[in-house]
Every structure is written in C-alpha cells, then in structure tokens.
Amino acid sequence: MDQLPFDYLFRRHSPETVRRWVNALRYGYYVRAAGGHANDGDEFWINLKYTDDRDLDDIATRLHLAKKEGITTIDGTPVYAALFQGYLQLFFSGTEAPYEVSETDFENCMKAEATIEKTGLAAKVSRHLEKLTTCISKERYAGLL
C-alpha cells in the first residue's frame, strides 16, 4: 500500500498531533496536500453518500446545512460543502491560515461528527477516502500512527 514519505507526512504537524487527530476522528479524515504544483492544502474531510436528490435534501436538513454547496455552516460551524457523484463532501481547513489545518479546523470537524452522530447519519458516512494515499487513515498508516 502506497504511503507518503515520513518527512512529508509530518512536515506541518508533529507525529503526536497527527496521531491524536487520526485516532479521535470517527467519520472524518486528515488529508495531506498532494504537494508539488497542485495548489492544494491539507484538509479534514467527511464524505456522506446519498442516493438521490431527496436523500441529499434529507441529509442537508438533518445536518442543518445552510446550503448544499460552497462555503456554508453546519449548526453554525464553518464548512465547505461540495457534491461529487453521489457524495456530499465536507471540507474543514484554512480557519487560521490558507492551505493549512489547525486545531480549530480539527475541532470544527469533530463538531460536524457530533452532529452526524446525533442526527443518525453515521450509516451515510463513506470510507472510500481511505483509498487515497494522501488520506491519513489508521488502516493505511497503521505502522506510523
């Protein structure tokens, strides 16, 4: 299974911080930037699978999502939402600095997880992100975390 180089994986945050984040998240993931010239940044992601527009509307209502795409909020917590082929993807990053994740972003992701739990949406969470090399999951990086 491909992995990011150790020095790149922990370039911005200590192994202890990344380990704490990864072990605390139940539905979300810490996703490291692809790097190079991609103009992307680190983010926390949560993906929720939906089957049709009605299902998507139900998820959005239960999350108290202000709008389904773009910069929005979940119960007042800032999030960027996007729709990708049957998935509502929630991104948390840049609260304190562009292209960076911070403790505030982590806490926002955790708040969204709590909303997912209390609204009964845990079964909608998709684990397909774990396939990405940049997704720092317990499965892909078990030896480092």
Mind listing the pLDDT tens digit for each residue in 109-120? 999 999 999 999
Evaluate whether 8 touches 35 at the Cβ level (below 8 Å).
yes
Q: What are 130's two structure tokens? A: 């774990």
Instruction: Give the structural domain span for 64.
Output: 6-136
Q: Taking the model in full, what pTM does it have?
A: 0.93
Evaluate whether 95 touches 78 at the Cβ level (below 8 Å).
yes
Please write the tens of the pLDDT for every residue from 7-29.
888 888 999 999 999 999 999 99
Q: What is the DSSP string of 88-136?
A: EEEEE--SSSTT---HHHHHHHHHHHHHHHHTT-GGGB--GGGGSTTEE
Number of domains in the chain: 1
Mean local confidence (pLDDT), 125-145: 89
Residue 145 falls within a domain, yes or no? no
Residue 31 falls within a domain, yes or no? yes
Secondary structure in 3-state letters for 5-21: CHHHHCCCCCHHHHHHH
Residue 143 falls within a domain, yes or no? no
